[in-house]
């Protein structure tokens, strides 16, 4: 099985809008992230937008998407800090529907939206950032995130990966969603398998048992391109649920991270993590007791990450 350097990663400022990564606060936050967590890797996730799950066009030039200049500057700064960088261009829907539900009829039907229109738009979106990843020397290109309903279209995904490789010569991965690792049939065409590790605090062993045969079958390196838990009461039991409304639970978030690291440490095929997430605009430490989000800064979970990333 091929190997890659162990990934001690964090997703930084996901889906930042234009202007945010150009601020000095963003650079200060990234430098502090490296100092406080022992991270050696970041994911930058420029967002593309389509109106609904059935829209056939993807916009990545509006003010809701980081500019190319900002992205390139942040990649350069991350490299100066000694961080490895992955670019993960990610599509979201303007109407708020989760991207996993982007879907069309399996066969083209006149007057209905079509896979044959959407996939070329998606390839253009990915290739745009593949060229930036190549130009800036990024260590990885992740060809999308949690696109569950698209994943059955294996032929189109193989073409997406092939097109990316024309522009980008580094490692190519794809970030499937939690519970979907065994459903992707085209892992053979990427260099690295990755998924979103939002598993309940008491279910890590069972889920790792399920994922392990997938990694063994395809003989590719594996890491969790996302993993995280909110600092809200109840989140450790359903860490994928952004809508949990419990009171702030900083210790519950820290406990979830301890459980994740402990379980994964026993599996030598888990090649690391890119945790969700670290903000480009740091909040006041005195406010952490009120926060119920995924952020790590200054919370007890940050201490758990730092200790484990120091191993």
The string of pLDDT tens digits covering residues 171-213 is 999 999 999 999 999 999 999 999 999 999 999 999 999 999 9
State the Cα–Cα distance between residues 101 and 153, nearest whole angstrom. 14
Residue closest to 229 by CA, chosen among 247, 253, 248, 250: 253
pLDDT band at 3 (very low <50, low <70, confident <90, very high): confident
State the Cα–Cα distance between residues 202 and 148, nearest whole angstrom. 24
Q: Round the average pLDDT of the chain to a whole number and report it.
A: 97
Exposure b/e, 16-45, CB count within 10 A at least 16 = b = beeebbbeeebbebbeebbebbebbbbbbb
Q: At what angle do helices 68-80 and 115-136 cross, to 10 degrees?
A: 40
Cβ within 8 Å of residue 266, ≥6 positions away: none
pLDDT at residue 1 in the model: 61
The string of pLDDT tens digits covering residues 145-166 is 999 999 999 999 999 999 999 9
With 0-12 / 13-18 / 19 or more C-beta atoms within 10 angstroms meaning exposed / middle / buried, residue 110 is exposed
Q: Is the pLDDT assigned to residue 261 strictly greater than 70? A: yes
User: Which pTM does this prediction carry?
Assistant: 0.97
State the Cα–Cα distance between residues 137 and 113, nearest whole angstrom. 36
The string of pLDDT tens digits covering residues 99-140 is 999 999 999 999 999 999 999 999 999 999 999 999 999 999
């Amino acid at each position: 099985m091929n190997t890659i350097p162990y990934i001690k990663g964090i997703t930084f400022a996901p889906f930042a809008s234009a202007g945010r990564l150009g601020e000095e606060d963003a650079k200060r936050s990234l430098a502090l992230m490296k100092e406080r967590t022992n991270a050696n890797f970041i994911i930058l996730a420029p967002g593309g937008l389509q109106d609904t799950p059935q829209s056939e066009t993807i916009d990545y030039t509006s003010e809701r998407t980081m500019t190319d200049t900002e992205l390139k500057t942040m990649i350069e700064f991350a490299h100066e800090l000694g961080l490895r960088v992955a670019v993960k261009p990610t599509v979201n829907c303007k109407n708020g529907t989760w991207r996993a539900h982007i879907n069309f009829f399996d066969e083209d039907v006149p007057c209905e939206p079509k896979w044959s229109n959407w996939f070329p738009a998606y390839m253009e979106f990915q290739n745009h950032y593949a060229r930036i990843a190549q130009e800036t020397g990024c260590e990885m290109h992740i060809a999308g995130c949690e696109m569950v309903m698209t994943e059955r279209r294996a032929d189109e995904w193989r073409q997406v990966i092939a097109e990316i490789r024309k522009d980008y010569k580094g490692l190519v991965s794809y970030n499937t969603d939690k519970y979907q690792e065994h459903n992707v049939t085209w892992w053979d065409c990427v260099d690295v398998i990755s998924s979103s590790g939002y598993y309940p605090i008491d279910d890590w062993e069972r889920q790792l048992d399920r994922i392990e045969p997938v990694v063994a079958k395809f003989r590719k390196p594996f890491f969790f391109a996302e993993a995280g838990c909110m600092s809200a009461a109840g989140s450790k039991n359903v860490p994928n649920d952004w809508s949990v409304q419990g009171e702030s639970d900083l210790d519950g978030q820290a406990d979830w991270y301890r459980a994740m690291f402990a379980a994964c440490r026993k599996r030598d095929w888990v090649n690391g993590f890119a945790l969700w997430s670290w903000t480009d605009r740091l909040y006041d430490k005195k406010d952490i007791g009120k926060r119920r989000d995924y952020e790590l800064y200054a919370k007890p979970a940050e201490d758990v990450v730092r200790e484990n990333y120091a191993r």
